[in-house]
Amino acid sequence: MTHHAFVDLEDLKISTQIGSYGPNDVIPDHHLLNLRLKISPELVLIHEDQMSRVFDYDPLIAEINRLAADGHYETQERLLTRIVYACAAYSQIEAIDIKLRKFPVQNTSGHLGISLSIGQEDLARLR
């Protein structure tokens, strides 16, 4: 039997400045991050309730917040790339699915985002 384990972070509202806008452009109110990290099932199916037995995602979230606030970005792609490299620093992460999107796109509706999936082999090359 094959087991898969994931850490899922959904709709994390991040404080960031992305893009260049003219006087008549719609400026996004906020950006949301979705992140799915594939990890070893051994880090989820634990026999003792101890932090040392699981993947501690809190430092990664702190790093994502730091990167988001690290200055102005021209593109969502650049922030997404930096977050991917932050994830790659953790050997426990085997694969990444990431999506970053902004709200609104037009008037008060819509969202526009980018997403990326990185498998185990590609993640190893990033490391």
pLDDT tens digits for range 113-123: 999 999 999 99
- With cut-offs at 50, 70 and 90, classify the pLDDT of residue 1: low
Segment 63-105, tens digit of pLDDT: 999 999 999 999 999 999 999 999 999 999 999 999 999 998 8
End-to-end CA distance of the chain: 29
What pTM did the predictor assign?
Answer: 0.92
How does strand 93-103 pair with strand 112-118?
Answer: antiparallel
**CATH number attached to the domain at 5-126:** 3.30.1130.10
| CA atoms of 37 and 7, how far apart (whole Å) | 5
Locate the domains of the chain by residue range.
Answer: 5-126
C-alpha distances in Å from residue 13, one per residue of 33, 102, 127? 7, 10, 27
CB 32 within 8 A of CB 12: yes
CB 58 within 8 A of CB 48: no
Segment 14-51, tens digit of pLDDT: 999 998 888 888 888 899 999 999 999 999 999 999 99
User: Does the pLDDT value for residue 5 go beyond 90?
Assistant: yes
